[in-house]
Amino acid sequence: MTNQVLHVDSIPSHLRSDCENCFGLCCVALPYAKSGDFAFDKDGGTPCRNLQSDYRCGIHTKLREKGFKGCTVYECFGAGQKVSQVTYKGLDWRENPESSKEMFDVFPIVQQLHEMLVYLQEALQLEVTHPLHKDLQRLFEETEQLTERSASSILALDIPTHRANVSDLLSKTSELVRGKVKKDKNQKTIKKGTALLGANLKGAYLRGSNFRGGLLIACNLQNADLRMCDFLGADLRDADISGANLQGSIFLTQAQINAANGDKNTKLPNSLKTPQHWLN
């Protein structure tokens, strides 16, 4: 029985970013502060100065060298085009300024819902979760329906409660996947919630660990065995996963991988691609 995550091609297109059909919502709705990830401050609802009239980024191919690493690790999971083309039926915020604030408030909510859909879709693709498929499918369809609602209905949603319901099923999924890992005398035990900022775990046997919501910022994971781990919500910014094996791990996104440092020897789940900046 396999627990491989879904291949990227099996992720529905509407759950992948399609900037061509978006009004540059992430470049306007979201705030950011000047830091190592962003070259200047920007308030939420204010267009980034790099956003062009056609809603494309003027420095898209040079984001990292221009000081916008944060943009390269953001993922809307298709929420941008959903809000732009479905919720607002192609009516953009520039020509319809009266609806702009509402649109900018709706976008991050739909982004959260789409992120949940991606995780639920991944769980549905795992053979080991067969006992949960009925509940996973029901919750997937319910979440999908929420994204189809009107803007006012979306703003009124109780997202924390819905997220808790999704999280419960994803936790059960994680237990089923990680429960297949055989115990090993070299296993390093990582307790949930353990602070791992800058920790040295080079070459560690961490197969089947639960890193959910963990802070692995600048953690040394070179050549570590990270197979069949749960990375849901883990912060991998500047974590060194060069030569590490992450195959079979779950709830790991391309944005998380883009935020980490790896190399050509890093083994990723089938759903993810090796970032170009690892190879430069």
Model confidence pLDDT, tens digit, residues 111-145? 999 999 999 999 999 999 999 999 999 999 999 99
pLDDT-above-70 percentage for the chain: 96
Which residue's structure tokens are 């006012």? 152
Statement: residue 9 has pLDDT above 90:
no
Statement: residue 252 has pLDDT above 90:
yes
Q: Reduced to 3 DSSP states, what percent helix, strand and coil does the chain have, rounded to the nearest 5?
A: 40, 5, 55
Q: Decide which of 149 and 276 is more confident.
A: 149
Q: What's the mean pLDDT when you consider all of the chain?
A: 92
What domains appear along the chain, each with residue ranges and CATH number? 8-30+74-178 (no CATH), 184-280 (2.160.20.80)
Residue 271 binned pLDDT confidence (cut-offs 50, 70, 90): confident
Q: How far apart are CA 123 and CA 34, in angstroms?
A: 37
Query: What pTM does this model have?
Result: 0.91
What are the two backbone dihedrals, phi and then psi, of residue 72, each rounded to the nearest 5 degrees?
-80, -10
Rg (CA), the chain: 19
pLDDT given for residue 127 in this prediction: 93
Summarised one tens digit per residue, pLDDT across range 197-217 is 999 999 999 999 999 999 999
Summarised one tens digit per residue, pLDDT across range 57-102 is 999 999 999 999 999 999 999 999 999 999 999 999 999 999 999 9
For residue 129, give the nearest of 8, 265, 4 by alpha carbon: 4
Residue 2 binned pLDDT confidence (cut-offs 50, 70, 90): very low
Question: What's the DSSP call for residue 86?
Answer: I
Q: How far apart are CA 276 and CA 20, in angstroms?
A: 21
